[in-house]
Structure 1
Amino acid sequence: MTRFGELDHYLFANATHYEIYKKMGAHLGKENGIEGVWFTVWAPNARSVSVIGEFNGWNENADVMKKTGDDGVYEIFVPKAKEGELYKYCIMSQKGELLYKADPYAFSAEMRPGTASKIADIETYQWKDSSWMGQREKNDPQKNPVAIYEVHPGSWKKHPCSDENPDGFYNYEYFAKTLTEYVRAMGYTHVELMGIAEYPYDGSWGYQVTGYYAPTSRFGTPAQFKYLVDYLHRNHIGVILDWVPAHFPKDAHGLADFDGSAVYEYADPRQGEHPDWGTKIFNYGRPEVKNFMLANALFWVEEYHIDGLRVDAVASLLYLDYGKKEGQWIPNKYGGNQNLEAVEFFKHLNSLVTGRNKGVMMIAEESTTWPKVTGDVHDGGLGFTFKWNMGWMHDFLDYMELDPYFRKYNHNKMTFSLTYAYSENYILVLSHDEVVHLKKSMLKKMPGDPAHKFKNLMAGYSFMIGHPGKKLLFMGQDFGQLREWSEQRELDWYLLREKSHEHLQAYFRDLMLVYKKYPALYANDTAEGFEWINADDSERSIYSFIRKSPTGKNNLLFVCNFTPVDRPDYRVGVPKGKQYRLILDSSDVRYGGESKDRKQIYRAVKRECDGREFSIGYNLPGFGVAIFRY
């Protein structure tokens, strides 16, 4: 009997075996009434393949696998193998070399520095998130609030190190409860988890994957990871995973030169290697490789109930010359630098994942001006749900790091993004990449004395929340982490014993509550949903604008002052002669300011300002932000 039949071969060869992980890898089963494990692996250029493990004393000759067809798929049933045991494939190359490879489709892996795969059953977990999953199918992410907390599980919080837990890692179950408590209290709608698919080197943060189908064993078992997702869902929190389809490392046990030849990567290093990263590039011109990653995306979404994939390094796949010098790359058949196979892969990927799973988000980390990243595939687009807005992020940080005196000469850095804000469906991101490698934490980027740093950051976060687009913030930046992030230590939570950090955290939490409460901030991220009141007040470095709800009710007026100069007589033009209710004031004593018992209702008067017939007067403090509802 063979598990991998004629239909499996056909679908695999056409990159349409979307649940191939149910056939490839290690699966508990029975043969002739005897319990054991089926092992199946693709090694198209191998001379021979055997499975070795704890069940056969790692004997290379004990369990030799058989070919199931002409495409290099090998399989075997091993009666003595059982769940929890370690294994690898021993592959003899055409040159006679013996290679010891982890299973590309393994559901679990040995704790690093070990490199073996582990037999695991992922089918027995009893999910309890049916309410969330049912609601997800009805959701339109474009019209819903999306405020993402980006978190690295290994360095969010840690236990004291011990012999039993030398790294101090939280396991998935403990992490679920503590993370959920924090995320709910802060008002985020989603978490984005870094470094979940198995990887060997902590310093890669999970971006050099060796186990694409295995939640990292650093934090527990596949069942425990399902519990984490389940628990977050039951507490109304979505889960996004970092997903790395662009490249993989050269580790001896991984995908590189899998059977002694280029299997998952291009054979020509001008196509198959990133010179700067020292990694291999997936060969998406090969159907079996494309199938491996298409099925992997579905695997996380459908087997682990993941709500979105943040697709890493999209630009590095789209451009054949990405990070390469002349002579290090090969043009496409038309002579251009576009990777046509990657373009087709992304279109297939996004159509497949979102077509089969309504409400799931596909998010591109794409740093160039490639057109229609979030456009419809039938109209030449790539089909992503959202794109990270890297242009906004760079301009925003450049402006925020300036001494306030010089901001008036750089006023357009905060307005330019509105000229392209609706060309894609954007997420505004302040991610982990911006607080490492001597870039400083968000708070440390701010100019001025300590008090001014906190006020600057409050103003910056307010502008971000008011700007069209969904939101993402990396862990620690909502309470003013001082040190740069390091994967080797937990965040500096002790800072919350200081009032200034507590005030910043409280302000950001209240910003999140405003964001989720008012559809004007999330349901209308289009040109119809935003209007400048005054985009040109460069001399005073003040920005005022309105966000409009789809119904016209509960529109919001933002006024943001980016200098330390108080404006006690500040007047702002308003669209209608109505009353305006102050709903958030960054100078409130709750946030470390000096305002208390401030007037809440401001009646517009017929007095021209900012080209408007009506206006309101307001005492605007230095670095002050006021959000009004009307």
Structure 2
Amino acid sequence: MPLNILDYDPYLEPFKEDLSLRLFEYARTKKRLLGVNGSLSDFANGYKYFGFQQEENRWTFREWAPAAKRAFLVGDFNNWENDFELKAAYGGVWEISSPGTLPVGSKVKVKLILENGQTVYRVPSYAMYAIPNETAQLDGVIVNPQYHFKNKTPQIKEAPLIYEAHIGISTEEYRINTYKAFTRDVLPRIKKAGYNTIQLMAIMEHPLYASFGYQVSNFFAISSRFGQPEDLMELIDVAHGLGMRVLLDVVHSHAVKNVGDGLNLFDGTTAQYFHEGARGEHSAWNTKLFNYGKDEVIHFLLSNLKFWMETYHFDGFRFDGVTSMLYHDHGLGTAFTDYSKYFSLNTDVEAVTYLMLAQELIHQINPQALTIAEDMSAMPGMALPISSGGIGFDYRLSMGIPDFWIKQLKEKTDDTLDLMGLWWELTTRRPGEKNIGYAESHDQALVGDKTIMMWLANDEIYWKMDINSPSLIIDRAIALHKLIRLVTFSLAGEGYLNFMGNEFGHPEWLDFPRPGNGDDYQHARRQWSLSEDPQLRFKYLLAFDQDMIDLEHRFKFLNQTDQLSQKWIKNEDKLLAYQKGDLLFVFNFHPSYEQTLSLLTKEKPELIFDTDDNKYGGFGPRSSFGWSKGELHLVLAPRTAMVFKIK
């Protein structure tokens, strides 16, 4: 297989052997798993074999527990007795078959007798549903969801415009929201806002609500907090009907440590799913780490991806914690300052191989699927095709950009904004790779940090967002909120992401009910009414975001990175101008002064967007422009931007 990645980035030439090893291990592992003619899609059918299967007039249950001595299926359907003993089959598999139909709705567990004589109870590893019992541990629940999907996945040609959402906190009420309520109340908001892709967080079952869904216990089960499997199926189906695709925030980077709820010590051994010793422990997250070199683990995780795509009709994945997977030190404390950091003994080649297999599988099942890597290290080739020597993701997240903005707002003043540094941060990419740009996601809003709007407005957001309350602090906050979003949206990626509510400057931070805050839901909800109140200025930010997103619908310029040209940049006057596709963007970041600028344009430009417009909470139109003999003359008010159509 040719290393076309070297054509994209010649600086990788010294690491040609490492890149060849990447492809060799990928091919070798595929051959070991599939033989000569096998396909990954056929291989990843574990969910059709393990767990509960209804087979005509019989049902079958299978579990993999190679270190167990005996196994029983127990539940309230048989009064938790031992009359359903599983038989040992090949490769550590246990199975039982019984006449009749599945006892749907029954609580169930696998009872294992270990080699040392200990008796343990486990939630089936392929359980589709689990609920807490009286001890606060989870019980599996037998489900056989029957839902008829009505809508096909929309064929979206434009750039991904992603609305990152969490079902539980999506209500304004002081409670956990449901799939059904999200479908009814939130999907129409997302559609109206103009986003074409929804990224759902915290779907995979997790015992700790406050983990934000990132400490998964049951990889095939949806979070029961939000409703039933059919409810999630309906949510995705309705989203498809509205013309939006749905991504799953998938967590294959680690698993919760809980014994009994999830996979940890499932058959009494650590090595069943995870690495032994320190390699199997994530010191910062206090979680377990998968052994990606073990065939049975690869089978489990790949089957998990296919399951979510075929059973629930997800259209792709955002892979969480990819950096942690790529390196033995999980990227903790490592500064990725040169290429040698990516190709060293610190690199977990087995994890890289798994990620490549996952990408091939996903696109084999659905060639239009969308995959995004959350990798802060900027591993070369992450979003290049495997055939070119890459890892195969479609996009990587532009993770440095939110850090840039938070550092600017926390540590610097407006007049020290480094436009050269901003331009570099927003436009630098791995050659040939696509990025998802964003100014802030859920990460920036978690307790201990604040949203961009809170950094800008602080306490004034509580008292001065009324349209009749003058406030220089709020005026600055609204103006910069718009500029930060517009410049990030237009430059930072071939796609864009927003966390729900941040489009209208949602106040405060995210925190889940827990003992430390008195189990309070104050910060675990979305205050939609703020953007709907005609007396509050949040409405201006929402209107701005909708029209900003509409620029992509109208002009489809995000993917036109090859048609990006810088027209003007100067730190002293805080002016920035650039053309992308048919659009010309002109920014005045100066906090105090009106600035003038002249730019050459062959055709007379048409003003299509002005951040200073009254409907966006501005004071304009204060800026002005004129065009004569191929030259555009601009006068820009402070903290404003204008967008022109120039063709």
Q: Which of the five TM-score ranges fits, normalised by the shorter chain?
A: 0.7 to 0.9
Q: CA deviation at 1:619?
A: 3.0
Secondary structure of residue in 1 paired with 2:381 = coil
**Partner deviation per Cα, 1:537-593 (whole Å, 9 max, x = no partner):** 101222111111xxxxxx0000122222242x622313x321111111111111122
Contact 1:580 1:604 (8 Å CA) reproduced: yes
1:171 corresponds to which of 164, 167, 178: 178
Aligned to 2:479: 455
Q: Is the 8 A contact 1:311 1:365 kept in 2?
A: yes
Question: Out of 614, 633, 642, which is 1:617 matched to?
Answer: 633
Secondary structure of the structure 2 residue equivalent to 1:90: strand
d(CA) in 1 for partners of 2:106, 2:39: 33
Separation of aligned partners in 2, 1:263 and 1:269: 9
CA distance in 2, matches of 1:316, 1:627: 40
Q: Aligned pair 1:272/2:280, yes or no?
A: yes
**Pair 1:503–1:118, CA change in 2 (3 A):** same
Task: Quote the offset at 1:502 in angstroms.
Answer: 0.9
Match of 1:561 among 582, 588, 604: 588
SS of 1:539 mapped into structure 2: coil
Structure 2 residue aligned with 1:539: 572
* Mapped pair 1:120 → 2:127: no
Which residue identity lines up with residue 318 of structure 2 in the other structure? R
Instruction: List per-residue Cα deviations over 1:144-177 (Å, max 9, x = no partner).
Output: 22111111110111546xxxxxxx3332122112
1:477 maps to amino acid = N
Structure 2 counterpart of 1:435, one-letter code: A
Q: TM-score, normalised by structure 2?
A: 0.84
Decide which of 595, 598, 601 is 1:572's aligned counterpart.
Answer: 598
1:21 maps onto 2:47 in alignment: yes
For residue 318 of structure 2, what is the aligned residue in structure 1? 310
Counterparts of 1:401 and 1:563, CA distance in 2: 18
Q: For residue 586 of structure 1, what is the aligned residue in structure 2?
A: 611
In structure 2, the CA distance between the partners of 1:271 and 1:618, relative to structure 1 (3 Å rule), is: same
2:115 is aligned with 1:107: no
- The unaligned stretches of length 5 or more in structure 1 are 1-8, 161-167, 327-333, 549-554, 607-613
Aligned: 1:150 with 2:164:
yes
> What are the equivalent positions in structure 2 for 1:78-97 lying under 5 Å apart?
78-79=98-99, 82-97=103-118
Change (3 A) 1:335 1:495: closer
Q: C-alpha displacement at 1:117, in angstroms?
A: 0.8
Give the TM-score normalised by the residue count of structure 1. Answer: 0.86
2:550 and 2:222 map into 1 onto residues whose CA distance is 32
* Alignment-derived partner of residue 49 in structure 1: 71
Relative distance call for 1:184 and 1:317 in structure 2 (3 A) is same
Deviation at 1:360, TM superposition (A): 0.4
Corresponding letter in the other structure for 2:87: K
Q: 1:474 aligns with which of 499, 512, 526?
A: 499
Deviations 1:244-286 (A, max 9, x none): 0010011112101110012443342222111111111011111
The Cα shift of 1:463 comes to 0.4
Sort the Cα spacing of 1:53 and 1:292 in 2 relative to 1 into closer, same or farther, 3 A. Answer: same
Amino acid of the structure 1 residue aligned with 2:645: R
Which digits, 9 at most, give the CA deviation of each residue in 1:174-205, with x for residues without a partner? 21121111001111111111100111110111
CA distance in structure 1 between the partners assigned to 2:574 and 2:430 by the alignment: 21
AA partner of residue 168 (structure 2):
G
1:629 equivalenced with 2:645 (yes/no) = yes
Tell me the equivalent position of 2:445: 435
| 1:318-363 Cα shifts (integer Å, max 9, x gaps) | 101226699xxxxxxx971111111111111101111220110111
How many residues matched?
573
| Residue 257 of structure 2 is aligned to residue 250 of structure 1 | yes
- 1:353 and 2:367 are equivalent in the alignment: no
> 1 CA distance for matches of 2:417 and 2:330?
36
The 10-residue stretch of structure 1 (335-344 or 45-54) with the greater mean CA deviation from structure 2: 335-344
Q: Which moved more, 1:400-409 or 1:289-298?
A: 400-409
Correspondence for 1:529: 563
Using a 3 Å threshold, how does the CA distance of structure 1 residues 335 and 219 change in structure 2: closer, same or farther?
closer
- What root-mean-square deviation, in Å, do the aligned CA atoms of Structure 1 and Structure 2 show? 2.6
Gap change, CA 1:276 and 1:566, over 3 Å in 2: same
Structure 2: gaps spanning 5 or more residues? 1-31, 335-342, 458-471, 513-520
Of 555, 559, 570, which residue of structure 2 is paired with 1:518?
555
CA–CA separation in structure 1 for the residues paired with 2:621 and 2:564 = 30
C-alpha distance in structure 1 between counterparts of 2:619 and 2:364, whole Å: 52
For 2:150 and 2:405, locate their aligned partners in 1 and report how far apart those are by CA, in whole Å: 41
- For 2:530, the aligned partner's letter is L
* Greater CA drift, 290-299 or 387-396: 387-396
Give the partner amino acid of 2:322.
V
SS of corresponding position for 2:427: helix
Matched-pair contact (CA < 8 Å) for 2:426–2:488 = no
CA displacement 1:220-249 (0-9 Å, x = unmatched): 111111000000100011111110001001
Q: Is the partner of 1:573 in helix, strand or coil?
A: strand
Q: Distance in 1 between matches of 2:333 and 2:116?
A: 33
Where in structure 2 are the equivalents of 1:407-418 lying within 5 Å? 407-409=416-418, 411-418=420-427
Please state whether the residue corresponding to 2:68 is helix, strand or coil. Answer: coil
The counterpart of 2:329, out of the listed 315, 321, 337, is 321
SS at structure 1 position matched to 2:47: helix
Secondary structure (helix, strand or coil) at the match of 1:242 reads strand
- Provide the C-alpha distance between the structure 2 equivalents of 1:416 and 1:356, rounded to a whole number of angstroms: 35
Query: Offset of 1:68 from its aligned partner?
Result: 1.8
The whole-number CA distance in structure 1 between the counterparts of 2:333 and 2:430 is 32
Amino acid across the alignment from 2:217: T
Assess, with a 3 A threshold, how the Cα gap between structure 1 residues 325 and 150 changes in structure 2: closer, same or farther.
Answer: closer
Q: Deviations over 1:436-462 (max 9, x none)?
A: 132211102227712211111011111
1:329 is matched with none
Q: 2:63 is aligned with what amino acid?
A: V
Is residue 499 from structure 1 mapped to residue 520 from structure 2 by the alignment? no
> What's the counterpart of residue 628 of structure 2?
605
Q: Does 1:195 align with 2:202?
A: yes
Cα pair 2:384 2:432 within 8 Å, conserved: no
Contact 1:388–1:426 (Cα < 8 Å) also in 2: yes
Aligned amino acid, residue 355 of structure 2: F
Is the contact between residue 580 and residue 603 of structure 1 (CA under 8 Å) also seen in structure 2?
Answer: no
Which of residues 508, 515, 525 in structure 2 aligns to 1:490? 525
Q: CA deviation at 1:406?
A: 3.8
Give the 3-state SS of the residue equivalent to 2:390 in structure 1: coil
Q: Which residue of 2 aligns with 1:552?
A: none
Question: What amino acid is aligned across from residue 320 of structure 1 in structure 2?
Answer: H
* Counterpart code for 1:490: R
Q: Secondary structure at the match of 1:321?
A: coil
Higher relative contact order, chain-length normalized (CA < 8 Å, sep 6+): 2
Percent identical among aligned pairs is: 27
Change beyond 3 A, Cα 1:479–1:443: same
User: Residues 603 and 158 (structure 1 numbering): CA distance in 2 closer, same or farther, change over 3 Å?
Assistant: closer
Report the equivalent of 2:214: 207
Work out whether residues 272 and 282 of structure 1, in 8 Å CA contact, stay in contact via their aligned partners in 2: yes
